[in-house]
Amino acid sequence: MRRAASRPGIHRVACVYRLDGRAILTAILMASERSMILVVGNTKGGVGKTTLAINLAIARALSGRDVLLVDGDEQGTAISFTELRTEQLGAAGYTAVALHGAALRTQTRQLAPKYSDVVIDVGGRDTGSLRAALTVADTLLIPVQPRSFDLWAIDNIAALVKEAREINERLRAIIILNAADAQGSDNDAAAESLGEADGLEYLPLPVGRRKAFPNAAALGRSVLEQSPRDQKAVQELAALTKAVFV
């Protein structure tokens, strides 16, 4: 883990310090900005939550951010992946912890200021961990596969988001298609029905069904670190990272 002094927010303060009082105030506000907490969640299993959580965490870590990956799923896939990654690469490049239930909320609150980004992977059910995560998150990313059973589960997560907003009113909730078909009308039909989801924002940045994701994960890597690179997977991940971490 890098020291706080090298974090980008702190660095910006040093750059504008010699300007006027307003610039200094702006800089202090920027430096004290909270870290961004992203939850990748859906009450549905097998939609690509863990896959996207690890790829997003690594994408941010590779761009120099100090990342905390929280595994909120009892199955512990994100932790197992991190262990494999550490074996394969010598170091994960981010910090990973397993937290569940109420501890996920309290510990994430405590740990978040020490990191620039926090990515939380939660299980595929309506669990205490998912609810706890939604109360501390800035953004919920909901991966959905363009198939009817997955689309029906959206009402479920929309209800949880609505409930979480009673405590956490600034929660941004975005849906994307994951493992989207290369062709066919399913994607368009899914996008149209997702566009109507209550209180959720549909982001038209689908991630395709690409072998690069499981292949890279099996080697403890993100699609960004795979060789040869799947350029489409890399581009889709880059576009998603940019849209999610604002």
Ligand X SMILES: Nc1ncnc2c1ncn2[C@@H]1O[C@H](COP(=O)(O)OP(=O)(O)O)[C@@H](O)[C@H]1O
- Contact positions toward ligand X, by CB under 6 A? 45-51, 124, 178-179, 207, 209-210, 213-214, 217
The binding track of 2-21 with respect to Mg ion, each residue x by CB under 5 A or -, is --------------------
Cα–Cα distance measured from residue 77 to residue 6, given in angstroms and rounded to the nearest whole number: 31
Of 77 and 116, the one with the shorter C-beta distance to Mg ion is 77
Which of Mg ion, ligand X, none does residue 119 bind to, with CB < 5 to 8 Å depending on kind?
none
Residue number of the CB atom closest to Mg ion: 50
Of 118 and 176, the one with the shorter C-beta distance to ligand X is 176
Is residue 12 helix, strand or coil? helix
Which of Mg ion, ligand X, none does residue 113 bind to, with CB < 5 to 8 Å depending on kind?
none
Tell me how long the chain is. 246
Residue at token pair 């690409």: 210
Which of Mg ion, ligand X, none does residue 21 bind to, with CB < 5 to 8 Å depending on kind?
none
Of 16 and 79, the one with the shorter C-beta distance to Mg ion is 79
Which of ligand X, Mg ion, none does residue 48 bind to, with CB < 5 to 8 Å depending on kind?
ligand X
Region binding Mg ion by CB under 5 A among candidate stretches 77-85, 108-116, 134-142, 147-155: 77-85
Is residue 108 helix, strand or coil? helix
Cα–Cα distance measured from residue 93 to residue 173, given in angstroms and rounded to the nearest whole number: 27
What share of residues in the chain are helix, strand, coil (percent, to 5)?
50, 15, 35
CA–chain centroid gap for 121, Å, is: 7
Which of Mg ion, ligand X, none does residue 179 bind to, with CB < 5 to 8 Å depending on kind?
ligand X
Of 27 and 81, the one with the shorter C-beta distance to ligand X is 81
Cα–Cα distance measured from residue 229 to residue 235, given in angstroms and rounded to the nearest whole number: 10
* DSSP category for residue 137: -
Of 46 and 113, the one with the shorter C-beta distance to ligand X is 46
Six token digits for residue 58: 């690594």
**Site residues (CB under 5 A) for Mg ion, limited to 42-71:** 49-50
Is residue 233 helix, strand or coil? helix
CA–chain centroid gap for 172, Å, is: 12
Q: Which residues bind Mg ion (CB under 5 A)?
A: 49-50, 77
